[in-house]
Chain A
């Protein structure tokens, strides 16, 4: 029942984000310019915000489960740092071999390669181990962030600001051409993790427990890890790094939906998508015609709400 309310809320927010803004578009007869703005600029943008938010929320929920750590988020595995590094290389180096697809593709490849390295580092005795994954991710993330900062501090190009804007999350470049790819990876990732939700529930309770319930802990963890990697890579390449959602949306959803992953994964996806849509709406409405980084707005809206819930409710954990 609650999940239907969430679907309804998400749809409502989607429509708000589509029609509201510094200039409100009233449904009905539209001028040519308004139709162009609605269909070529707003709609792909809001769709990308929804997809990114869904990917981050769902992957956060899965990752906190497989790492058994409430502080885990999709960025802790270093995947986003790897993506940022390759994307910044492309931006500062002025690469454009694939046209406007260059930076997203570079980011996607960077994310997948980093995910692969983290997986290899976390692999021991025929499986992935949560602590190893976590530490490998943190280590790699530090290394890549340092390389990124090094590159930025020696870069003399005006590409610097562009790289910063990209890394802070930018939805203004959202085009229709990116959406099929983003949609495909996000759907695969969410479906893959949702079908493994029961196994995730068991894994949270411990490997022995999962084993006794008939799940192969290592196999399930690997599948879930792959789905997290796909989701994170897709979201980073769609619009850069958006903080907060992956870490705190799953916790907010646990307050409302409980800890059952079968509900938590879709709920976190819907919550994440909704929050990013609102944040993007705010980011383009506060100081028009200037746009603020959506990632900053996400945290400014989301964090106080999370803290309020933390005071008010009495549950916390995975």
Chain B
């Protein structure tokens, strides 16, 4: 009988402990609805707690092994619900708003990552860190990114002092090519555009109407960029793919002076990797 009483109390203790813990304990089953939030969560050391990602989430390597819940614009509600998440991380940049509303109506906790620009990334990481209970890691990660942004920005200002300001007339013109045929480039609002501006250069596609415009080849010839960046695409040899395209641009200074840089896809997603992406651009522009 005493044994039963002891068990009973033990059970009570466990029960009360777990319910108390639920209020303060961080989410244990996280689903990420975008590749960049997946990367951030992994960078915060939360890989073990991620129970679902999109089919686009391919970085880091471990993300590929996670259960898939569909694409970014068309995640499967059933797949998400069946994984019993206690937090779903969505973005304003790619996930439908209705999907998040639907999750909320099913009493699934969501966090919406709103950062879209390079300078908004550290703040976004800190916010996300607070929600997933990785506050310290997030502060550290964000500080690292802020420091890198600060450092690259400062280097430019030091250089620009001699050139008398940062007028667009004096700065070098560059273009970041996402795909050569048809020509798709990084326009305003992309991390590439922000990184180019940060480094004190002028993105010739900055005035385009959309983030990834299909760009006019004639206009590239006219605006005569001094440097061309060519981004990476999965499973493709970009040197081979862009050969014909570069031949047509033989009059552009970047091609004439062989200032063509094949860079990685580090800047394609607003995630901690952008720091390496900025370094790559800076390295090439030296």
Contacts and interface: CB of A to CB of B under 8 A. Distances in A.
A156 B219 CA distance: 31
A291 B217 CA distance: 10
A288 interface: yes
A172 B179 contact: no
B218 A23 contact: yes
A156 B71 contact: yes
A32 B250 CA distance: 11
Is chain B's binding surface mostly helix, strand, loop or mixed?
A: loop
Contact of A42 (B56, B218, B224): B218
A123 to B, nearest CB: 38
Contact of A284 (B56, B210, B212, B216): B216
Contact of A173 (B181, B212, B219, B222): B181
Interface string A32-45: 11001100111000
Contacts of A170: 182, 214
Contacts of A32: 251
Contacts of B219: 22, 288-289
A5 to B, nearest CB: 31
A244 to B, nearest CB: 20
Interface string B194-236: 0000000000010111101111111101101000000001111
B209 A172 contact: no
In the complex, which range does the number of interface residues on chain A fall in?
Answer: 20 to 34
Contacts of A173: 181-182
A96 interface: yes
B123 to A, nearest CB: 27
B240 interface: yes
Interface stretch (B146-154, B241-249, B277-285): B241-249
A37 B218 CA distance: 6
B179 A162 contact: yes
A290 B71 contact: no
B221 A289 contact: no
Given A36-B251, A41-B248, A158-B233, A100 B218 contact: no
Contact of B55 (A21, A96, A156): A156
B183 interface: yes
B46 interface: no
Interface in A19-60: 21-23, 32-33, 36-37, 40-42
Given A33-B251, A94-B235, A99-B244, A41 B218 contact: yes
Given A33-B251, A156-B55, A289-B208, A21 B181 contact: no
B188 to A, nearest CB: 11
A94 B207 CA distance: 30
25 contacts: A21-B218, A22-B216, A23-B218, A33-B251, A36-B250, A40-B248, A41-B217, A42-B218, A99-B243, A100-B243, A100-B244, A158-B179, A162-B184, A165-B184, A170-B182, A173-B182, A175-B248, A284-B218, A287-B209, A289-B208, A289-B215, A290-B208, A290-B213, A290-B214, A291-B215
Interface of A: 21-23, 32-33, 36-37, 40-42, 94, 96, 99-100, 153, 156-159, 161-162, 165-166, 170, 172-173, 175, 284, 287-291
Given A94-B235, A96-B236, A99-B243, 4 more contacts: A41-B221, A157-B233, A173-B182, A284-B216
Interface of B: 55-56, 71, 74, 178-179, 181-184, 205, 207-210, 212-219, 221-222, 224, 233-237, 240-241, 243-245, 248, 250-251
Of all A-B residue pairs in the complex, the 5 with the closest CB atoms, nearest first, are A289-B219, A100-B244, A290-B213, A289-B216, A156-B55
